[in-house]
A = this chain, B = another copy of it.
Amino acid sequence: MPEQILESYQVKRLDILDEKGTLDDSLAPSLADSELMRMYDLSILARTFDQRAISLQREGRLGTYPSIMGLEASQIGSALAAEESDWLFPTFRESGVYIAKGLPLDMIFQYWAGDERGMKIPDTMNVFPLAIPVGTQIAHAVGTAMAIKYRKDRAAALVYFGDGGSSRGDFHEGLNMAGVFQLPILFLCQNNQWAISVPREHQTASKTIAQKAIAYGFEGIQVDGNDIFAVFKATRAALEKAKKGGGPTLIECFTYRMGDHTTSDDASRYRTKDEIEKWKARDPILRLRLYLEKKGLLKEAYQEEVQARSKAAVDEAQKKAEKAQPPDPRDMFTYSSASLSQRQARQIKDF
C-alpha cells in the first residue's frame, strides 16, 4: 500500500585501522606518540592480566572468571577516551576498563577470588563495581547522568553492555529515558557476537545494534570494535557531545569474544574453529602492534620490555592479593546497612 514517508534514517559505521595495521589518516584521531604507546602498553598489560586470571582459576586460586581476550580495543580505547570526571558503569567482563582506569590489579584478582574488598573502588575513581545481572547497570548510568545534569557538572556517564544485554528491558527503559531527558550519557555495546551460546543473529533480528538508537530519537553508530582508534574517536566524540548538552549516543563496538564465555564454559560446544581463526586475524592488539611497528615506535627490545613489565606487575599484584588478610566475617554485618538491626546486633556476637 502506498503511504507518505514521515522520516528517513541511516545506520553508519566507522573504521580507521584495518587488520594489516594500515591507518586511514583522514579519519585518525590526533594522538601523541606517548598516548599511542599508552594504548599499547595497557593492551599488553590487560591481556597479560587476563591470561593470568585464567590460569589462576584453573589452579583453583580464583573463582569463575570471564576473559576479555579480543575486547582490549573496545575497553581500553573507550576508557582512555573518558575523562576523570566521567562515570563508568562496567559489566562483569570489563577487566580492561578497570585496568585502563587504574584500579589496582591486586584488587581485581581479590574480587575474582571471592572477596568484596576488591570492588571497594577508590574514592578517586568514578567507576561502579561490576554488574553481574545483565543489563541492570544501564539504569544506574541513566540515573547518574540525571544527577550530573541536575548538578550541571561537566561530566558524562559511560555504560558498557553486550549484545545479549541489548535484549533486556533495562536497555529499552534506560535508552528511552536518556532520550526523553537528553542526558549526558554514552551507551557502549560490545557486540562480541555471542551471549554464552546464543549467537548475535538469534539475539535480535535487527541488522545492527547501532540502529536501535533510532527507537529513542538519538544517534547510534557502529564502529570496528577491534580498532582502538575508531573506538577512541567515537567515544571521545560522544562524550564531548554529551558534555556540551548534545544528549545521548549509542555506540556498537563490533568485536569478538575470542575466549570461552567464562572459565566454566566450553565454547567448542556451540561455535566453530574456523570462526575463531577468522577473528584471530582481526586481533585488536595485533593490528595496533603492526601499525606502531610501521610507525617505527615499536622496537623489538621495547616489546620484550613491555611484556616483562606487564608480567612483573601481574606477579606483584597476584602476590599482594594472595597474601592479603582474609576478610573479617563481621564485615557481612557492618556493610549490609549503615547500622546494625537488633537482630544483626545479636547475630554478630557469633563472631
Contact = CB atoms under 8 A, between A and B. Distances in A.
Interface string A258-300: 0000000000000000000000000000000000000000000
A294 B267 CA distance: 68
Interface string A20-43: 000000110000000000000000
A216 interface: yes
Interface string A152-182: 0000000000000001111111001001101
- At the interface, is chain A mostly helix, strand, loop or mixed? mixed
Contacts of A167: 172-173, 176
A212 interface: yes
Contacts of A216: 204-206
Interface in A131-170: 167-170
Contacts of A336: none
Contacts of A172: 167-169, 171-173
A6 B12 contact: yes
A216 to B, nearest CB: 6
A17 to B, nearest CB: 14
A313 to B, nearest CB: 35
> How many copies make up the complex?
2
Nearest to A182: B205
A204 B176 contact: yes
Contacts of A215: 204, 206, 211-212, 214-215
Nearest to A26: B2
A213 to B, nearest CB: 8
Contact of A180 (B169, B204, B212, B234): B204
A62 interface: no
A207 B15 CA distance: 29
B3 A13 contact: yes
Interface string A209-222: 01110111110011
Interface in A186-230: 202-208, 210-212, 214-218, 221-222
Contacts of A173: 167-169, 172
Interface in A214-252: 214-218, 221-222, 233-234, 237
A324 interface: no
Query: Which residue, A3, A182, A204, A211, has most C-beta atoms of chain B within 10 A?
Result: A3
B180 A211 contact: no
Contacts of A176: 167, 204-205
Given A6-B222, A206-B214, 7 more contacts: A3-B14, A4-B12, A5-B12, A6-B13, A8-B9, A204-B216, A207-B217
